[in-house]
Chains A and B, each alone.
Chain A
């Protein structure tokens, strides 16, 4: 099921389908290895619900909710 990465619950995993957004943000997300077909695990939300901590390729990366909303994923739990 295609959803925004920001909609994926804590503890779920998802596969990236498309990275939206533009400019520096999109570029940086892709350069960190968050490409189409890559599996992302939503590790946790920060205490104030923003940003999100993700595990991608064994590395912990944090993204803001509004940035994660640009990434369309397939939620596979």
Chain B
């Protein structure tokens, strides 16, 4: 190899840019990996990476969160800045939304101030041209001393040139150009220089970041930089910060404003100088389609009705259209069970496969179509840009709860799955808002709870099942609002986070992006089906089937023989054809009944049954028997398992009917009433979230304390609410 130095090093390329600048599209074009593309500001909340081979180089592409600035104002900004500062990527590609050049350049100038190599990607040039803007790219390159490449991300244009420019710059020995950065006014420059001298003198080479940049940030009162410098400086820290404060005070006094405001102003001044030189806007004022759409969608009169119509349509699509593939899936699992039943010899293995695995996974798999449709609708909201409008429409209401309009989106996603919903709270800028939203989102009934409602409401409310389920969802919403208000006034007092939010232009969603979106989230569900739910079903089956006392089997055999004997004796006496038929029916009914009773006895004496009986005093006041209690416990693994556990406990083995109907029948026969079903549904709605959600809460709040709080609060409230419904209903003479 001619140049081993070149070939073996992995080059790290970071992508930075404003939200909605098309950064994610470029990332997809570069890496070809699947990733969410959205229009909602801040959809890229996670750090996404992709390693690619390109002309003999190994490139690690890191997608930074979309930000407007690099001040540590939001979590995204901190993440993006820390990555550039601490991980020191070989080159940073700044994706510039050409149709919004001025604001894009604000981030660009901040990147230039950092000590890193930057390449500009002038993205969405087509959109800018359509708006009548002409940009002199070579001039921009010259003015900021940065390589500039033109790209159209969604058409894969300019991607190769972009990589080529990035790799060239990364491998060049050229230092980061120090000229052509923002120059502030004399007073500010003097202050920066004075502080820089102090930093150089005190810290020498120990300063982690570029001295000029560090000085600017200290003057701007950047808390993160202050802390780091103080930590590194040790004893000298106090003196350094005092020196910074001196300059800060001087500038505040001089400009009668905070220095960071002055620098922001100066940066925009610097940018407007650049804009004058590179941008020519022709006077053709084209019709702004996005604005026209918003005249309707956020209209004073029809905006809200349309919004509620969209939400209603989403739920209708999810639950009515989803029914058709459900039938197919159910039949598929039926066939699978029949096939396996034929192949496997009688015994424990057969029972495990049929009753444990196929039964357990099958009851959950039927909900896959619903989940796919729901996530598709949410992706559609995000990719078109409607999500930001939803926040705009809902902010007043959310604000009453003390939340941000943006909290509406995670809460809406909570109807799908709480795990991505809780992750989506990263779009909220204030820590208070985030924790509050995380705590109340689990009360938005997730799609995994739907199977439980479908079974219970279907069994006890017949034609009114739909209304009852809707009421349950409504209770969840009301409950989360009440909780929000309560926590806001008790746990999280203080000023609300600012609501400054961009309403990005509407975009026609790309089908590919929608499906990637939908698939990425549904994958979580499918993975759980193959993992947690499979294991859960097997464990629950095992707990429900062991130990197996021989007396039960013996008694079963005795009873079976008695039925057969009676059948033989009777058929000898009654020889008429009709009588024979009646006798046959009696025999099969009696045998099936015996089978069910034996299994129920087995289940009751099993480990699970004993556990359930032990927990009975906890569940009895809310009208849930030991089987319901066990099912609810198993729901911690995943809410869908509540249904499959009920299936196992009620020993559903009927081949003729669908399992769902058989389970409904068994529930009705078990002594449950409409009232206890209602109490159980409310308990399922509110009680502790599933293990995956609990893990997400732990990760996103960064504390076990909040995780435990969430578990205890939700379970306590669930029990209390169920108690009020059940006991209250009984007092009123219902059920």
List residues of chain A with CB under 8 Å of any chain B CB: 19, 24-33, 35-36, 43-51, 53, 57-64, 67
Contacts and interface: CB of A to CB of B under 8 A. Distances in A.
Residue among A29, A33, A57, A62 with the highest chain B CB neighbour number at 10 A: A62
Interface string B289-326: 01100100011110110000000000000000000000
Contacts of B4: none
A50 B404 CA distance: 12
Nearest to A51: B395
B106 A31 contact: yes
A33 B107 CA distance: 11
B103 A51 contact: no
A46 B298 contact: yes
A30 B71 contact: no
Nearest to B498: A25
Given A46-B396, A47-B393, A32 B68 contact: yes
A35 B503 contact: no
B100 interface: yes
A70 to B, nearest CB: 10
A48 B396 contact: yes
Contact of B395 (A25, A27, A28, A46): A46
Contacts of B393: 46-48
Given A24-B497, A35-B268, A63-B500, A30 B261 contact: yes
B231 interface: no
Given A53-B294, A60-B503, 6 more contacts: A36-B265, A43-B291, A46-B393, A48-B393, A51-B392, A60-B291
A27 B290 CA distance: 28
A35 to B, nearest CB: 6
B69 interface: yes
Contacts of B33: none
A44 B99 CA distance: 22
B49 interface: no
A30 B103 contact: no
A63 B392 CA distance: 9
A32 B503 CA distance: 12
B161 interface: no
A41 B444 CA distance: 37
Nearest to A65: B396
B397 interface: yes
A58 B291 CA distance: 11
13 contacts: A24-B497, A25-B498, A29-B500, A35-B265, A45-B300, A46-B392, A47-B300, A47-B393, A48-B397, A49-B396, A53-B294, A53-B298, A57-B103
B502 A53 contact: no
B103 A33 contact: yes
Contact of B260 (A27, A48, A62, A64): A27
B18 to A, nearest CB: 10
Contacts of A43: 291, 294
Contacts of B260: 27
B429 interface: yes
Contacts of B264: 27, 30-31, 35
B106 A62 contact: no
B379 to A, nearest CB: 22
Contacts of B68: 31-32
Nearest to A38: B268
A36 B498 CA distance: 20
A47 B503 contact: no
